[in-house]
Structure 1
């Protein structure tokens, strides 16, 4: 196999400037507020905020380029600038801790960590695969699975704007792709929420990923140009408006100018752009917004004469997606504020699949467009020094224009019948609505204990479903160590494309997951941090195939580049995922940072027959070890070593498979076989030359430096009836290199 087969995978301080006196390194942020919300200093929080301006308990927005003057209110950090950095005259007497969070242990990373990490190509989603409890379906792509859940169970939020997908060459109702649309230079930080995350979020069953692009200080004019295998592009940052900023970035793929085949029997072509702006209106009002666009296409043309070719389908794909949104924040008083958000997202895709083995017959033809316009309002108030109240509403209009043809059906590996099945035609164009309300209260108790209680009520007009979900979190120091225990329920509608085919709209309902989480910060020292968490997720009402009793939608990750298979479904599936996660961060010397994460987890899902079987993503042991070594004089070296249990898979029923010259699964051994252990070593070396106010940076490294062959799946070779299956691997040994010029 050509080593370039997977080059497509490349398609990819708070209070700064304020007049402050600091003890420790504050991170004034409230988990559970939108990603840029500065954190309220609660009465029992070790981070005590006191004013140095002599002002009364009153705020005026955005003084000194931020949004406020000082106050003695415990809500001050959050109320003044909930979606950006507080620029006010305050004194921080000690460091903000995890006890200021309204959920369990969140995981927050900066753009610099993403940019410098080995093996991620600067892709935010690929970096997520390194965190505890997170695995990838296939390291060829950047989708990630959180705590045993499907990739579609994750929601992206950028600057309080919901984004269906941040990736290029991503199909509807999926979150993975080849490369992120958002330039890493735009990201200030990224936060993964998994532990009893807040009721305010439009719910997903596994996680919320928040991305903040708003600068944490006044910006100066600067620009960046860069080029690598992931593409060529650049960005511009300028001061703009009244103490605001403007950011513009664009990128275009380059591989199509080097080759017409990167090993996928084709080459992806894509381009993307981001425009982001923010500004102060007056003493009590400010706004921020963004527009993110991606356009992409690929033609996959496998050889009709290659006996080793496993893909007999000519595939044509082209698509585009855009999300545009704006937020307006109004400060009512020293103890309350509100944020109004209006956003629109739209995506369109065309997919045509031709079967070479059936005289080039069309087996799948999709021309779909869907969009969602969302308006939401969030209000936060400090009732008193011990109680903070949050509430809000959300309403959305979903627009669907689906034309999906599966004219002759497809052979199904779950069926012993060789005839094509499930021919269908879906032609639907309509709009529907969904709405939600939520409320959440945080109670700060004596001895630094805390209780968070929340609820969310969601209604979908499509299907007429209404679901209520509660949340309860308790955290407190125990023997000097912070401990949290949480229970939360979340619901999510099935993917629209599956919902609208056959009679699925009448047989499918929202999926529910019940989370129980426990965590403890074992060590929280200057040079060493250790956390341990345990979780359990119980799924109910999961969509499963009506005609194939072993098949659950939970086991279908990303079908890009494969033959689509639409089939009748019903909400009678269940699932169970549980695990224990540990993370270690050590800084033995000032220039060296060592990290390690290890997860032991199991997950099982049932089909219509109700039998719990290993999930497709059941990887009992996953570990990542990383190092970041600043060598000095602008040089740094990073490495990562990943190891995981082998993937489970279902072997073929060989007599039937050879007789019918196709994959026919042995249904008595669903995911009963496990492949060899996965392992991968990546490293990256970078160096920056700084002169005047300009910088030139290059990086070079290797991905899968040891050339380890990692199993992904077995696929049948239909042009060689006596050959059987061919093992499909994941990322081979590949170079990683790029150059960046900042001025």
Structure 2
């Protein structure tokens, strides 16, 4: 079958006509980095074109470069009194205009002569207050890297400090922290887990709802993030949806692992600058199963669909209005009789039970940005989101395989959000932002399980609401063009437990040489617990039920980071960071045990322990290296290496490995672009190699498990066993053909090319009375076709 897929794509490529030469348009908007106000009369040129292709910005900061040759281009942006900026590696295709947003930083006037080099697009983030431990990324990166499946979360696993050694889920483990410590933000709003099959309280899942075709340049942060980000102790994914093309209607069609997809964007009318963007996707995994491709779900067929959209309405004097949304549904059932007991890669189902899972996630929001003057703007965003899931589990009789209900759960979390900020640029040296973020949680949480053959007992049965409020202020002072100080404070309060946290943040960047800088960052960060855990029930001997977790406080984490950044050449970057994180007030049990919430988020469910108190601690430290050659001269490479140690203490005060303490991660990625026939036909080979330390797990007590008929773990030596190291290599072949008004893209991503058996987990099998090892996904080919027109 795999050969059939390969030869089918090869046949398509051989029968497609040769592309015609052509050109395309690059356009966008240029603004001041601090005030976000449009810059008028700036010069933009396409580097290396003969004759030189150039343009200037109009009164709204818009520019348009026409008749740009197809392929990878670089543009230079210059404006009097501002630092030049170079945007390299812009992919220009015939099927779609290129739309970009550029920000320039004003120069600080000094009496001493200094050398200021043009800033590189890839070395800067959208957020000017992010000093270090941050990286921007764009659509092209999420689709280019082998093994990423067009998923921003899997793409981020290639960055230093991130471990993504899990084929079944796209959880982001940052510097040994639980993935539950990650904050997702979309267009300024804190959003719930944007994953299909994403359980309440988790931050990842098997398939992302995020569609890389609708994303704009976005930021990913791993430590000491600015004050505007609260309720997170591990990292931040700050995503931006791009605007639709305001001048012409464009279409997209795609089929691949993530689904059948169609998209449309364009202006509302010829005379309007307002635009829309809509993309819809439906699962193709049923088709993959029919072709015999195994992705770890056995005979179960995942079914999901999602929709993303954005409407942008700029005005000449009243500001800018936007409406955006993201939503999806997903469901799957695992039937014990369908489980292949000879397979070692059934990652989700169990032969002794039937389970049924349904999920509905979504967010819809609107924002309004108003420019008070050339130095001040304010923005308000409001949104409503929902996260609903249902789970039912039937045990199967060992005698006749008849089902009987054992677990029923239904969770609904609705969230109503408002985010307001006002930003003021006082001068070239000083700028500041003040903001308010408020999230009102409205929830209904019910779960019951069978405790005797005839009696169900509530595990959770609560409904109500609670408010998480954040107030923050942050400022930037530029002593010179080479020395910048960022500082701020975030104050947050959670009404359910009456928890209060005051979090100072500090960042310092010193460019002591034209292409070298030293960076320092400190952050005090706090996070509420997953909502479900506040409502775990404690049943007393007299039958009364208490919510003994309801008063849990925030978990606190202090981040200390030191970094060195150097551009070895125009397209080669070296970055080294070392860090220390100290975690306090982690929930642990009142009784003496090894449990800690710092290990939560390792699977699909939240812990059910009750009587938790904020007495646990933890610490993470490590060093990271990044060596990256940005795409130039037809090739790129990225090498990241992370050495780290992650430990915690439960109420037993024993220092143990966290389950996420893999201790090392190494990624090596490279890619080469070849011109084929006509200069507008391009063939790409992309390669990725990942090796990482295995997770730590708690050993199973085999004798006690045999007596109990289910897994019994040795909590006295919790997380003392490390699974074998993870190794995977992926190769991706792609072909892009530009015709006069369309672009065809074919790709074949061969994941886990060596079919390496990476351990997923170890489980006790009651039927065989043995401990079974389950492995992650083996060799996994993913074909994809994309059409732009």
Task: Please state which band the TM-score falls in when normalised by the shorter chain.
Answer: 0.7 to 0.9
643-652 vs 463-472, greater mean Cα deviation: 643-652
Name 2:597's counterpart in structure 1. 553
Name 1:302's counterpart in structure 2. 336
Name 1:45's counterpart in structure 2. none
Q: Measure the CA separation in 1 of the matches of 2:171 and 2:388.
A: 20
Name 1:730's counterpart in structure 2. 776
Distance change in 2, residues 1:84/1:635 (3 Å): closer
**Where do residues 307-318 of structure 1 align in structure 2 (5 Å cutoff)?**
312-318=352-358
Name 2:27's counterpart in structure 1. 17
How far off is 1:302 after superposition? 1.8
Name 2:113's counterpart in structure 1. none
Name 1:394's counterpart in structure 2. 437
**Where do residues 421-440 of structure 1 align in structure 2 (5 Å cutoff)?**
424-440=458-474
CA deviations over 1:124-171 (Å, ceiling 9, x no partner): 111111111111262211111111111111112222222212111111
Q: Measure the CA separation in 1 of the matches of 2:458 and 2:755.
A: 44
Q: Measure the CA separation in 2 of the matches of 1:199 and 1:578.
A: 22
Name 2:584's counterpart in structure 1. 540
Q: Measure the CA separation in 2 of the matches of 1:509 and 1:313.
A: 37
Secondary structure class of the residue paired with 1:497: helix
Find out whether 1:366 has 2:409 as its counterpart. yes
Q: Measure the CA separation in 1 of the matches of 2:749 and 2:480.
A: 52
Q: Residue 390 of structure 2 is aligned with which of 350, 354, 359?
A: 350
Q: Measure the CA separation in 2 of the matches of 1:282 and 1:127.
A: 38
Q: Residue 483 of structure 1 is aligned with which of 504, 510, 518?
A: 518
Secondary structure class of the residue paired with 2:503: strand
How far off is 1:733 after superposition? 0.7
- Is 2:593–2:715's contact at 8 Å kept on the other side of the alignment? no
Name 1:245's counterpart in structure 2. 275
Find out whether 1:321 has 2:369 as its counterpart. no
Name 1:131's counterpart in structure 2. 159
297-306 vs 148-157, greater mean Cα deviation: 297-306
397-406 vs 292-301, greater mean Cα deviation: 397-406
Q: Residue 617 of structure 1 is aligned with which of 632, 647, 660?
A: 660
How far off is 1:456 after superposition? 1.0
362-371 vs 545-554, greater mean Cα deviation: 545-554
Distance change in 2, residues 1:16/1:420 (3 Å): farther
Name 1:647's counterpart in structure 2. 695
How far off is 1:235 after superposition? 0.7
Distance change in 2, residues 1:662/1:247 (3 Å): same
Distance change in 2, residues 1:658/1:407 (3 Å): closer
Q: Measure the CA separation in 2 of the matches of 1:621 and 1:425.
A: 38
725-734 vs 522-531, greater mean Cα deviation: 522-531
Q: Measure the CA separation in 2 of the matches of 1:194 and 1:305.
A: 39
**Where do residues 477-556 of structure 1 align in structure 2 (5 Å cutoff)?**
477-478=511-512, 481-502=516-537, 503-546=547-590, 549-556=593-600
More strand by share: 2
Q: Residue 192 of structure 1 is aligned with which of 217, 220, 224?
A: 220
Name 2:484's counterpart in structure 1. 450
How far off is 1:19 after superposition? 9.9
- Is 1:297–1:318's contact at 8 Å kept on the other side of the alignment? yes
TM-score by length of 1: 0.85
Name 1:169's counterpart in structure 2. 197
How far off is 1:470 after superposition? 0.6
How far off is 1:361 after superposition? 4.3
CA deviations over 1:287-342 (Å, ceiling 9, x no partner): 22211110110111123997668553321111111101111111111211111111
- Is 1:144–1:176's contact at 8 Å kept on the other side of the alignment? yes
Q: Measure the CA separation in 2 of the matches of 1:563 and 1:447.
A: 48
Q: Measure the CA separation in 2 of the matches of 1:61 and 1:369.
A: 48
- Is 2:467–2:495's contact at 8 Å kept on the other side of the alignment? yes
254-263 vs 515-524, greater mean Cα deviation: 254-263
Q: Measure the CA separation in 2 of the matches of 1:19 and 1:659.
A: 69
CA deviations over 1:619-671 (Å, ceiling 9, x no partner): 11100000121112321111100011233222223332344343222334322
- Is 1:61–1:284's contact at 8 Å kept on the other side of the alignment? no
Name 2:726's counterpart in structure 1. 678
Q: Measure the CA separation in 2 of the matches of 1:324 and 1:563.
A: 26
How far off is 1:360 after superposition? 4.1
Secondary structure class of the residue paired with 2:705: helix
Q: Residue 96 of structure 1 is aligned with which of 111, 115, 119?
A: 119
Secondary structure class of the residue paired with 2:357: strand
How far off is 1:436 after superposition? 1.6
Secondary structure class of the residue paired with 2:488: strand
CA deviations over 1:92-120 (Å, ceiling 9, x no partner): 99523668654214211111111121111
Q: Measure the CA separation in 2 of the matches of 1:533 and 1:243.
A: 44
CA deviations over 1:561-611 (Å, ceiling 9, x no partner): x79745442222111111111100126960110110000011012222122
How far off is 1:406 after superposition? 3.0
- Is 1:626–1:640's contact at 8 Å kept on the other side of the alignment? yes
How far off is 1:249 after superposition? 0.5
Unaligned runs of 5+ in 1: 3-14, 21-27, 41-48, 54-58, 78-82, 410-418
- Is 1:455–1:468's contact at 8 Å kept on the other side of the alignment? yes
CA deviations over 1:220-240 (Å, ceiling 9, x no partner): 321111112331111111123
Q: Residue 381 of structure 2 is aligned with which of 341, 355, 358?
A: 341
591-600 vs 234-243, greater mean Cα deviation: 234-243
Distance change in 2, residues 1:305/1:257 (3 Å): closer
Secondary structure class of the residue paired with 1:130: coil
Q: Measure the CA separation in 1 of the matches of 2:692 and 2:32.
A: 34
Q: Measure the CA separation in 1 of the matches of 2:699 and 2:406.
A: 25
Unaligned runs of 5+ in 2: 3-24, 44-56, 65-77, 86-98, 109-115, 343-348, 538-546, 676-680
Secondary structure class of the residue paired with 1:103: coil
TM-score by length of 2: 0.80
Distance change in 2, residues 1:195/1:656 (3 Å): closer
How far off is 1:674 after superposition? 2.2
Distance change in 2, residues 1:708/1:190 (3 Å): same
Find out whether 1:380 has 2:415 as its counterpart. no
Q: Measure the CA separation in 2 of the matches of 1:305 and 1:76.
A: 60
Number of residue pairs the alignment of both structures matches? 685
Q: Measure the CA separation in 1 of the matches of 2:665 and 2:223.
A: 19
Find out whether 1:465 has 2:499 as its counterpart. yes
CA deviations over 1:484-520 (Å, ceiling 9, x no partner): 1111111111011111122244441111111111111
Q: Measure the CA separation in 1 of the matches of 2:83 and 2:418.
A: 25
Q: Measure the CA separation in 2 of the matches of 1:548 and 1:709.
A: 37
581-590 vs 675-684, greater mean Cα deviation: 581-590
Q: Measure the CA separation in 1 of the matches of 2:763 and 2:560.
A: 38
Q: Measure the CA separation in 2 of the matches of 1:18 and 1:669.
A: 58
**Where do residues 89-238 of structure 1 align in structure 2 (5 Å cutoff)?**
95-96=118-119, 101-136=129-164, 138-215=166-243, 218=246, 220-238=248-266
Distance change in 2, residues 1:212/1:305 (3 Å): closer
